Chain A
């Protein structure tokens, strides 16, 4: 009997990429498919070191297209499979991710955003928001968790496997180069000890029973002859997605009571925003903090309520991209009259002083 990767819980000091590996092990992931790209490589480095100890598998594929499609195959075979990528690799994987949307394949992918467009930098950015949330030739029927701390990387990778296998939509943990490489303390734990039930995988092909006697053959398909058939299929996806949305949507709201302005940010920038808002409050500036944890589905109802409750007259978006969160916000807040200011720093880190200065220039 192979031992559990983590028993009980323990403190550790790790980089984000390593945490992805440990969380995937703790989630019962059976197999990883991957292709080297910075800044996610240590996910593969540590998975390949650790996987054999716990009876797990790995394949380095010929490219990211193949990594995505092998994951699609593995989950059809009823195995918990995942991949990790970034930047141009994320672009290539949109093709298999699209198939996963269409065929309801519980694919899990960790995205460590790097600077773009093109090869950009390998360092950091928040420029893969649109791609991860809405990439592919579909309707963005995905779940995207944007994590901010090392503890969250661990928590949300575990959650991503459960969400994927519960709702059967492709599920993403969106990190970035900073989070991939930064080192921080966190608590590793056995999900069972926290009362987290791991959702067991179920196969779509290779089912038990004799065909024609015990069961019909399984014929999986993602192509339709008629536009009406596709229309029905997409409406079914949309209906299931909307039914799921309130159950998976997550957000964080702090200091929004009587706020004049709410700072909206996601991922690692939300750490700076949180610090900035606390500092501003201490100075008597009535700033508030709102962070979508899920970028898809977006907590639009919750943000609208925060606006109404606080009476805030302004929003400030802070992000390391030229307005990808801002576009989401405009779309999700359609009809609200609140003016939105923006601190946009594509591919560049944002610290609390940047946000404090911006807020002061507005108020």
Chain B
């Protein structure tokens, strides 16, 4: 039987993975896996995953992994990194975990220039719990808790995480936003977000614009349209801060 090519750092016994058809997590995790392979860091990476759909990645990789509570992956990764600076700590979370319930951890770990890599999947909703408002839900977007569309006068505007983090981090931080719609760029950013930790330059953060057809109730074409037209219009893709040159737009 012919198997699709998998990164070496993926954990084969847990494949096929458990994400929905059309979900962007698999693409983001493939980019992460390929970056781990390319940098040859499988044996010293610790992967931490949050609650929400990111939880489904808890045994995704053939790397030491630990699962935490909603929003708390960042402090667990910080605790490991502070204790074992030789390890490469990768926190993997959703927009709710990073920008809402765990926002104080994200913000303060960035300010303290913690030498961890945080990857945040932005799919504009709380998907695991059935599609509620997330900090990243677009204005007017319907969710189960914004049945008439997100009213920014009542719930504010979507969180622009990388922009915020770029403003508060020290030189040496790596802050970028990628999209699963541009795989080669995504993989490059993923690699830089890891390399930045390896070199000890500073805090590393990558937001990944992703897809959630299940909760968006979109077919394939509509899914890509929402991602490429509406999300990218609100959340510009590119490197906001990078020790590796000027930053790619």
Residues of A within 8 A of B (CB): 30-31, 33, 57, 59, 61-63, 65-79, 81, 95-96, 99, 103, 203-207, 209-212, 217-223
- Contact A74:B83 (CB < 8 A) given known A69-B72, A96-B72: yes
Q: Which of A69, A206, A210, A218 contacts B79 (CB 8 A)?
A: A69
Cα separation A231 to B120 with both chains bound (whole Å): 32
Q: Count the B residues whose beta carbon is within 8 Å of the partner chain — how many? A: 38
DSSP majority for the A interface?
A: mixed
Which residues of the other chain, A, contact B79 by a CB distance below 8 angstroms? 33, 69-77, 81
Whether the Cβ atoms of B104 and A74 lie closer than 8 Å is no
Contacts of A207 in B (CB 8 A): 64
Tell whether, in the assembled complex, residue A221 and residue B63 are in contact, meaning their CB atoms are under 8 Å apart: no
Given A65-B72, A205-B46, check contact A221 B80 (CB 8 Å). no
Q: For residue A59, which residues in chain B have a CB less than 8 angstroms away from its CB? A: 78, 82, 112
Which residues of chain A come closer than 8 Å to B72, judged between CB atoms? Answer: 65-66, 69, 95-96, 99
B residues near A219, Cβ cutoff 8 Å: 11, 58-59, 65
Q: B108–A62 contact, CB under 8 A?
A: yes
Given A95-B69, A205-B87, A206-B87; A73-B80 close (CB under 8 Å): yes
When the two chains form their complex, are residues B76 and A73 in contact, meaning their CB atoms are under 8 A apart?
A: yes
Instruction: Show the binding face of B for A, using Cβ within 8 Å.
Output: 11, 42-44, 46, 48, 51, 55, 58-59, 61-69, 72, 74-84, 86-87, 104-105, 107-108, 112
- What residue in chain A is nearest B8 (Cβ atoms)? A212
A63 close to B62 (CB less than 8 A): no
26 contacts between A and B (CB under 8 A): A59-B78, A59-B112, A61-B108, A62-B104, A62-B105, A62-B108, A65-B75, A66-B74, A66-B104, A66-B108, A69-B68, A69-B105, A70-B76, A70-B78, A70-B79, A72-B75, A73-B77, A74-B83, A76-B79, A99-B68, A205-B64, A205-B80, A211-B62, A217-B11, A217-B61, A217-B65
Sorted nearest first, the 8 A-B pairs with minimum C-beta distance are: A73-B79, A70-B79, A62-B108, A69-B75, A73-B76, A77-B83, A205-B64, A79-B83
Known: A68-B75, A206-B64. 11 other contacts (CB 8 A): A30-B83, A57-B83, A62-B104, A62-B108, A69-B72, A79-B83, A206-B87, A210-B43, A217-B64, A219-B65, A220-B66
Give every chain B residue within 8 A of A30 (Cβ-Cβ).
83
